[in-house]
Amino acid sequence: MVIETLKLSCLFILVFIVMRLLGKTLLSQWTAYDLVTIIFLSYAALGAVKVKSFYHAIICILSIGILYMILSRLSLCGRLTSIIIGEPTILIKHGKIIEKNLKKLRYSLTELLSTVRAFGFPDIQDIEYAILEPNGKISVIPKNNLRPLTPKDLNIDCQYIGLPITLIAEGKIEKDNLALIDKSEEWLINELNLNGYHDLQNIFYAYIKDDINSLTVFPYQ
């Protein structure tokens, strides 16, 4: 059993290294160790059906979980973060494509142009930076003169409009959210009655903003 666990650990690390070498574009929303963990958990779960010892499969799954937690902890260490998770890579800088980084990541020009167009920038000269993040996503930062105007740019003082907090979703009361605003179920029922709603099952969605006590209700159609 110890030998099997060591073999599994070695395979886990090997697959992790291979995934890191394959690059960020493969990972999409996962880090390398996220993806490796999913693969190995699937293998171990399938092993529970195929192997004679169910206990062996349980040990494998627990070993994978422990390895994942170890890698997660190590990824918080400054020196190991770039090794385990990776580092952001600049693909466009001051409107110019960094060709060497595209080649290094095996990221095609067509993919890059398609991605920045999806952000609304058909001309790369309008882009200050385009960065490939460790999770495989691209962040696009436009040049200053092309950034959307904000109230701050126009010296407009905006008031806080409040955060909508869900109190009812598909006929069910969100008790944790009620506690968040220091309200009781009795208060909610009373507010519903005042708005002409007497049956929770008829309510699809209801929310309140955290700066006011006005309840907004959307019944089932």
CA angle 102, 29, 127 (to 5 degrees): 45
Instruction: Identify the band that residue 125 occupies on the pLDDT scale cut at 50, 70 and 90.
Output: very high
C-alpha to C-alpha distances, 110 to 58, 101, 124, nearest whole angstrom? 45, 14, 12
Domains 89-146 and 164-219 share a fold: yes
Q: Which fold has domain 89-146?
A: CRO Repressor (3.30.240)
pLDDT beyond 70 at 51: no
Average pLDDT score over residue span 97-119: 90
Residue closest to 164 by CA, chosen among 207, 204, 206, 203: 207
103: left (phi > 0), else alpha (psi -120 to 50), else beta?
alpha
Q: Which fold has domain 164-219?
A: CRO Repressor (3.30.240)
Higher pLDDT, 98 or 163: 98
**pLDDT at residue 8, rounded to an integer:** 65
Please compute the mean of the pLDDT values over residues 86-110 and round it to a whole number.
90
- Residue 24 pLDDT exceeds 70: no
Q: Give the chain as a 3 state SS string.
A: CHHHHHHHHHHHHHHHHHHHHHCHHHCCCCCHHHHHHHHHHHHHHHHHHHCCCHHHHHHHHHHHHHHHHHHHHHCCCHHHHHHHCCCCEEEEECCEECHHHHHHHCCCHHHHHHHHHHCCCCCHHHEEEEEECCCCCEEEEECHHHCCCCCCCCCCCCCCCCCEEEEEECCEECHHHHHHCCCCHHHHHHHHHHCCCCCHHHEEEEEEECCCCCEEEEECC
**Letter for the amino acid at 212?**
I
Residue 49's pLDDT is what? 47
Domain boundaries, the chain: 2-84, 89-146, 164-219
pLDDT at 175 over 70: yes
